[in-house]
Amino acid sequence: MGPRGISSALSCVFVITGPSGVGKGTLIRALRQRVPELELSVSATTRRPRPGETQGVDYHFLSENEFDRHVAAGEFVEWAEYSGRRYGTLRTELEDRVKAGRPVVLEIEVQGARQVRSTVPDAVQVFIAPPSPETLRLRLVARGTDSPDDVERRLAVARAELAAQGEFPHVVVNDRLEDAVDELEKIVRAGLGQPLPSTP
């Protein structure tokens, strides 16, 4: 771990990564209903808010200059450029929680997940994979939040991201949502040292 790393020995940091449209956000919402103590790290980004997204809740929406300032001040645990925009995890999202032993989940793309391997070496990293590459296009189009050009850019990045899944200790295929949430919950409870709640 480098001098600016964060040791998560007192708690658990969970990294959920995988291509756009695979269902990371959906899975994390469902997971947090089952494991309510899991807190979400709110990322910073230079992309514009989508309709319905709220400043400070979905993202810290920043100008290019504001993002630059956080980079220069070394305030990111990781950051990456994705589809022409920058995204990053601010130290302030992790430090207090980790010190207090509160578990936190990061939803980030693959380049960021790679950086977290060195900055937060104890983090539990999970790659979410689609049942087939074609599923991503169907889900992105069905989500309806990205322009056709942006969908194509995201699918182009997804090819490289899918090729990286072998780097991750846990791979969860998001085919049937409930099955994927079950699998994710098992990984997270194991990380937290908790038994699974018994099913009725």
Interacting residues toward ligand ADP by CB under 6 A = 20-26, 139, 142-143, 174, 177
Binding ligand 5GP (rule: CB under 6 A), the pick from 62, 103, 109, 114 is 109
Which CB, 58 or 196, lies closer to ligand 5GP? Answer: 58
Q: Interface residues for ligand 5GP in 138-197 (CB under 6 A)?
A: none
Look at residue 21 and give the partner it binds from ligand 5GP, ligand ADP, none, a contact being a CB closer than 5 to 8 Å depending on partner kind. Answer: ligand ADP
CB of 116 to ligand ADP, least distance (A): 17
| Cβ 195 to ligand ADP shortest distance, Å | 26
Touching ligand 5GP, residues 48-87 (CB under 6 A): 78, 80, 82, 87
DSSP string over the chain: --TT----TTS-EEEEE--TTSSHHHHHHHHHHHSTTPEEPPPEESSPPPTT--BTTTBEE--HHHHHHHHHTT-EEEEEEETTEEEEEEHHHHHHHHHHT--EEEE--HHHHHHHHHHSTT-EEEEEE-SSHHHHHHHHHHHT-S-HHHHHHHHHHHHHHHHTGGG-SEEEE-SSHHHHHHHHHHHHHHHHT-PPPPP-
Judged by beta carbon distances under 5 to 8 A according to partner kind, the member of ligand ADP, ligand 5GP, none in contact with residue 174 is: ligand ADP
Nearer to ligand ADP, 21 or 191 (CB): 21
